[in-house]
Structures are given as structure tokens and as C-alpha cells.
Amino acid sequence: MPPAEERPTFHRLSWRDFDALARLDGDEDTIRKLRRAERSRRKLLLHALLAEAAKSPDLVGSLPPLDSAWELLARAEARSPRTVNRMLTNPYVGSWAGYTTRLLRNGTDGVGPLWMHLGHVHAIAAATAIQAELDFETEIPVWHGNAMLPALGTARLPATEPFTPATVRGAGNRYVVSHAGTTVRLPIAFSSDAPGWWGVRQVRSRVGAHRFSLRLDDLDPYRGLYEPIPPERLPAGDVANWRRLIDEACRLIATHLPELSRIMPVGLNSLVPKPHVLFRNPSASTGEAFGSAVVGLPTDGVALAATLIHEFQHIVLGGLLHLATLYEPDPRERFYVPWRDDPRPLSGALQGVYAFFGVTAFWRALTHSDPASRRATFEFAYWRGQSWRTLQSLRTDATLTAAGRRFLDGIAERLGPWQDEAVPVEARELATAAARDHLAGWRARHLRPAPSAVAELAEAWRSGRSRPPTTFGTADPPPTPVPDGSWSRARADLLQLAVGGVRAPERPGIRPAVPGATAADFAYTSGRFTEAAEGYRAELAATPDRPASLVGLGLALSARGPHPAARALLHRPELVRAVHRRLRATVEPPPTVERIAAWIGQLIPD
């Protein structure tokens, strides 16, 4: 046994680096530490997978024994250690290792046979050997005719069977993949396309001294969030669009957040492109694929910059969570978060706070650069407030560790003072209204008032009391994950249109096509509040349970001045709805929702 000094040690992080990450002050060295730890994690999982699989050699089917992959990796490492480092930096080696570990250890069924997933290590070894220019031959899995060589590309072969092996061989810089009489020759530049070959595209962007290099990976089967997915090759025209948007986003980040643009390339090296979704800029990532983000084609470079920062924050926190425990496991979905329509566990809420903290920093920088920008000022006003509110709800939670509290304190140290920075009145008012809209909609659908309180209020109404009893509780019940009714994002989408965050196809004289938007929503977001209130009253007369109409009426009334019904509909919509439901079943004719709201609202302060 080697002396203790020579044995491997554990990854460490100084508290200074930890605090800097919390405050958005992390430097390149810190992100490199996280990346280095991820490489160790992947190496460890690879080692554990191969050791476990070696106990049952038939698990790899007709592919060569897994030992040969290990030997090939060792040869590549001896020839060119950088190629092995690069392989371990590939995010999808991480997601493959995680997915396959779960299949093997939990005995669960996956997408396709287990041998294909275990055998993917041959593809990882082959891709590494090719980059190290080794002379070798091995076999790799083919899924529906696609033989993936991670980070290089996919050889497209005849799909004789859904899952089958193919041979990879070559030397120097000439390699081929063969199967069923078809041979695909890899091009000299792997990222190029060639007959039978789709290369993994690389997008490079340079802004002054800042260099960004991102793979646009639409091929790797493990590029999704969780289970494997087939290739979704982007047409060349779409690639050009992505290149333009990435260039624009990188320029914005380098210009407005230069410190961030220095560290982002260390922690974000691959994007999984997805189609555009109107009014949304969907994106996602997983802690197992440090370095990667799944991103829907954004509206513009500004939206992409915000998304890249958002996902980078997730990536950083994911890496940090592999080194430090910030909270105890607790799957209970008990927090309101403004970025989703359902209650979230602390882990998800914390991820969101950190991601939107970064996004807030971006909009803040744009606001400083152009204080007249309606979009930037609204987004800054909205996200600084929403991130702060969620942060406050998490800070004292009992499941946080001391490190977790310290991390949130670090965020607060930076985010707190931003709350008082000047923004135009319009931006502040729009942000406040948008925040109230979403929270009230969430309350209506996820909070269930105590039946006894509802019964007492209904009885008080029936008995003709001018004010409701003052006994109904003020503490919120825990949220219920299953929503009571659906939600419409139409008002939020219309607001995005108004501030220029989304460009809908123009049709002269015709309202933009916003999914789910009603005439009342258009009136409200155009500032015609009396008309909007009338519209929402009509909606509630037809469907008194509709959460978006309840909240819409509250917003429209509130916009015209203090109103007890508005207070109840915005602060206790779940109670208004529950009492009205009960009265509908017992009083003929039932009162309007607005009357009940005005009655309950007498006890609700502004």
C-alpha cells in the first residue's frame, strides 16, 4: 500500500470559493475545480460500472468484453492524456454513466437492451482512441442505424435490426465504421458531414478577448435530460440561425457581464438544440451532464443570453452539490416558485433561485446600459423581486444545512441591494402585477382551505351577516401538488409581447395569436381595465371556477383602485372559490363570485 501522502485525496473547495460562487463572483479557477471534480465523478462511475458488469460477462451480448474498452482507454491515456480528459469532460459521458448505473444496479428496464447501454463504453473508448490517433479495432452499438462516436459524430448505417453492433477500425487519422456490408469513412474534420456521417457541429464565437466554443450536439443518445433519445439532426439553415444567435448572445454576455463571460466557457461546452416554442424559451439541464444545456431555439440573442446564463447557474450549482451538502433530502413539494405553475421541493426551488439570480444580474446589466428599454427594465424588476421572494421563503427552512444557509446568505448579500435600485414606474408596476397574477393563480389551484372554515363562511353568508366571521385562519395550508383547475399564461404572454420580449407574427388588424387569451385578457393588458373587468365577470358567470378569470377580475379591479373584491381575489382566491362553490350548491340563485369576494375582502388588508 502506498504511503498516505501518495494516496488519492478528496476534492476540496475553499469557503472563499464557495462564498464567491454564491455571490456570483466565481472565477475560472473555481469553475475548473468543479469541472475537475466532475471528471473524477465520471471516472469513478465508469470504473464502478465496468467492475460491476464484469461479474456477468453476458451482459454485453455479442460486443467484446468490457475489459477491452478499459484497455483501449488506458492506451489512449498513455498516448495522449488530454484525449481522456476531453472524453471525461464530455457531459454525455456523465449522463450515460448515470443512466447505465441505474439500469445495472436497480435492475430497471431502459430504452433498448442493457447491452446497448453497457456497450456504449466501447463507443466512448473508440472515440477517445480516434482522437488519440491509435491503431485499433473494436465494436460499438448501433441504435436504429446510428453508430454514435461521442463528441465526434454518428455513422449512419443500414438499420437491419433496431439494436446491433458495428465495427470501428483504423489507424493514424483514417477510421471507418462498418456494418452489414456498408462502410462509412470518417472525414478528416470530424465535425464535417460526409457520406454516411453526421459530425457533431462546433460553434465558436470570439468577442474581444473572450472565446466561446460550444458543441451543438443533436446526435448523442445521452444528451437528453434522463433517458436516451435518437438523433434529431438540425437542417443546415437552422444551424446558421443557431450560430447567429449564439454569436449575438456571447457578444451580449461579454459586453454586459465580462466576468461571467470568462468563466462560462469552462462550465458550458455543449448545447442540445430543440425547436422554437412561441412565447417560451424552454431550457433544461441535469446535474449528471455538467457542461450541457438543452435549449429551445430562442426568440433572439437576448433571450438566448439569458437562457445560457440561467443554465450555467444550474450547472455550477449542480457541480457544487456534488461537493457540498446544502440541504437534507426532502421530496415534499411545498414551495411556491414563480417560474413554474406547481409547488416545488426545496431542492428545485433552490436551483431556480440560483438560476434566476444569474438571469437577474443579466437584466440588471442591460437596464444599466439602456434604462429606457421596456423589456430589460421589466425583466429586471420582475426577476429581482421574484428571486428575492423565493429566496426569503427558503432561507430559514429546517432542511437547509449550515452550508445551505450560508449559500443563500451569499446570494442575498448581492440580490438584496438590487431590490432598491431605480427602475421606471411602468416596469415596477407591470412586474408587481405579473407577480400577483401568477401567485394568485397558484393559490387558487394548489391551496385547499380547511373545509370547516369554508363551511363557516358559507353559513355566515347564508345567514345574512354583513361581514364574514373573523375567525378564519390566516396561515396557509400546505400546498397540494395536484392542481384544482388549469392555468392560462395568456396574460403573461401578452405582457411579453407588450414589452418586446416576444415577437408574434404580424397580422394587420388582427390580434396576435396568443394561446388561451380571452377578450378580457387583451383588454386588461391594453390598460382597458373597466372593459377587462366586464369581460372577466362574463367569464365567471359562465365558468365561475376558472382560476385565470378569478384572478383576472382581481387584477382588473385592483388596477382601478383599492377594492375589497380585488384584495380577496388576489390574496385569497382559493377561499373565494371554495366558498362560492359551496354557496352555488345551496343558494338559489347563487351570488356572483365578485359579491362573495367583496364580502370576504373586508377582512383582507391591502
Q: Which of 150, 298, 301, 352 binds other proteins (CB under 8 A)?
A: 352
Measured from the CB atom, the residue of 84 and 203 that comes closer to other proteins is: 84
8 lies in the site for other proteins, by CB under 8 A: yes
Closest approach, Cβ 563 to other proteins, in A, equals 33
Closest approach, Cβ 604 to other proteins, in A, equals 30
**For residue 484, which of 444, 451, 454 has the smallest C-alpha distance?**
444
Cα angle value 411/414/420 (rounded, 5°): 125
> Which ranges constitute the DSSP H helices of 132-202?
none
Tell me if the bond preceding 91 is cis, omega within 30° of 0. no
Query: Cα(558)–Cα(433) distance, rounded to whole angstroms?
Result: 9
Question: Binding marks (x or -) toward other proteins, 298..327, rule CB under 8 A?
Answer: ------------x---x---x--xxxx---
Sign of the Cα pseudo-torsion (261, 267, 271, 272, in order): negative
Measured from the CB atom, the residue of 97 and 216 that comes closer to other proteins is: 97
Residues 187-216 as b or e (16 or more Cβ within 10 Å = b)? eeebbeebebbbbbbbbebebeebebebbb
Query: Cα(583)–Cα(570) distance, rounded to whole angstroms?
Result: 20
SS3 of 312, please? helix
Site for other proteins in 40-69 (CB under 8 A): 40-41, 43-45, 47-48
Q: Which one of the spans 38-46, 169-177, 471-479, 491-499 is the region binding other proteins (CB under 8 A)?
A: 38-46
Tell me the DSSP string of 399-444. TB-HHHHHHHHHHHHHHHHHTTS---HHHHHHHHHHHHHHHHHHHH
Instruction: Report the half-sphere exposure of 372 (CA within 13 A, side-chain side).
Output: 0
User: For 252, phi and psi rounded to 5 degrees?
Assistant: -65, -45
Closest approach, Cβ 227 to other proteins, in A, equals 5
Measured from the CB atom, the residue of 70 and 529 that comes closer to other proteins is: 70
10 lies in the site for other proteins, by CB under 8 A: yes
> Which ranges constitute the DSSP H helices of 56-199?
66-79, 81-89, 91-106, 114-131
Q: Which of 23, 144, 243, 340 binds other proteins (CB under 8 A)?
A: 340
Measured from the CB atom, the residue of 40 and 183 that comes closer to other proteins is: 40
Measured from the CB atom, the residue of 66 and 600 that comes closer to other proteins is: 66
**For residue 314, which of 204, 447, 225 has the smallest C-alpha distance?**
225
**Residues binding other proteins: what is the number (CB under 8 A)?**
72
Closest approach, Cβ 53 to other proteins, in A, equals 13
Closest approach, Cβ 440 to other proteins, in A, equals 19
Site for other proteins in 71-100 (CB under 8 A): 73-74, 77-78, 81, 84, 97-98
Calculate the alpha carbon distances from 595 to 12, 536, 540, 570 in Å.
61, 14, 12, 15
Measured from the CB atom, the residue of 322 and 528 that comes closer to other proteins is: 322
Measured from the CB atom, the residue of 18 and 522 that comes closer to other proteins is: 18
23 lies in the site for other proteins, by CB under 8 A: no
* Full 3-state SS string of 511-567: CCCCCCCCHHHHHHHCCCHHHHHHHHHHHHHHCCCCHHHHHHHHHHHHHCCCCHHHH
Query: Cα(331)–Cα(336) distance, rounded to whole angstroms?
Result: 14
Q: Which one of the spans 33-41, 415-423, 429-437, 583-591 is the region binding other proteins (CB under 8 A)?
A: 33-41
Closest approach, Cβ 341 to other proteins, in A, equals 8
Measured from the CB atom, the residue of 74 and 513 that comes closer to other proteins is: 74
Measured from the CB atom, the residue of 136 and 339 that comes closer to other proteins is: 339
446 lies in the site for other proteins, by CB under 8 A: no
Q: Which one of the spans 70-78, 154-162, 243-251, 505-513 is the region binding other proteins (CB under 8 A)?
A: 70-78
CA 55 to chain centre: 38
Site for other proteins in 392-411 (CB under 8 A): 403
16 lies in the site for other proteins, by CB under 8 A: yes
Closest approach, Cβ 519 to other proteins, in A, equals 28
Closest approach, Cβ 357 to other proteins, in A, equals 12
Q: Which of 214, 302, 355, 433 binds other proteins (CB under 8 A)?
A: 355
Query: Cα(566)–Cα(427) distance, rounded to whole angstroms?
Result: 21
Give the E-state strand segments of 108-249 in sequence order.
Answer: 136-143, 146-149, 153-156, 163-171, 174-179, 182-185, 197-199, 201-207, 210-216
Helices 114-131, 91-106: axis angle to 10 degrees equals: 150
Measured from the CB atom, the residue of 54 and 603 that comes closer to other proteins is: 54
Site for other proteins in 410-439 (CB under 8 A): none
482 lies in the site for other proteins, by CB under 8 A: no
Q: How crowded is residue 220: how many other Cβ atoms within 10 Å of its Cβ?
A: 31
Site for other proteins in 240-279 (CB under 8 A): 274
Query: Cα(223)–Cα(232) distance, rounded to whole angstroms?
Result: 11
Site for other proteins in 194-233 (CB under 8 A): 224-229
Q: Which of 134, 149, 294, 447 binds other proteins (CB under 8 A)?
A: 294
603 lies in the site for other proteins, by CB under 8 A: no
Q: Which of 58, 106, 396, 470 binds other proteins (CB under 8 A)?
A: 106
Q: Which one of the spans 9-17, 112-120, 253-261, 482-490 is the region binding other proteins (CB under 8 A)?
A: 9-17
Measured from the CB atom, the residue of 16 and 368 that comes closer to other proteins is: 16
Query: Cα(311)–Cα(308) distance, rounded to whole angstroms?
Result: 5
Measured from the CB atom, the residue of 291 and 535 that comes closer to other proteins is: 291
Closest approach, Cβ 96 to other proteins, in A, equals 12
Q: Which of 23, 79, 86, 102 binds other proteins (CB under 8 A)?
A: 102
Closest approach, Cβ 218 to other proteins, in A, equals 13
Q: Are strands 270-274 and 210-216 parallel, antiparallel or unpaired?
A: parallel
Site for other proteins in 543-562 (CB under 8 A): none
Q: Which of 344, 364, 375, 571 binds other proteins (CB under 8 A)?
A: 344
Query: Cα(494)–Cα(499) distance, rounded to whole angstroms?
Result: 9
Sign of the Cα pseudo-torsion (140, 142, 145, 147, in order): negative
Query: Cα(147)–Cα(155) distance, rounded to whole angstroms?
Result: 5
Q: Which one of the spans 177-185, 287-295, 415-423, 514-522 is the region binding other proteins (CB under 8 A)?
A: 287-295
Q: Which of 159, 176, 207, 284 binds other proteins (CB under 8 A)?
A: 284
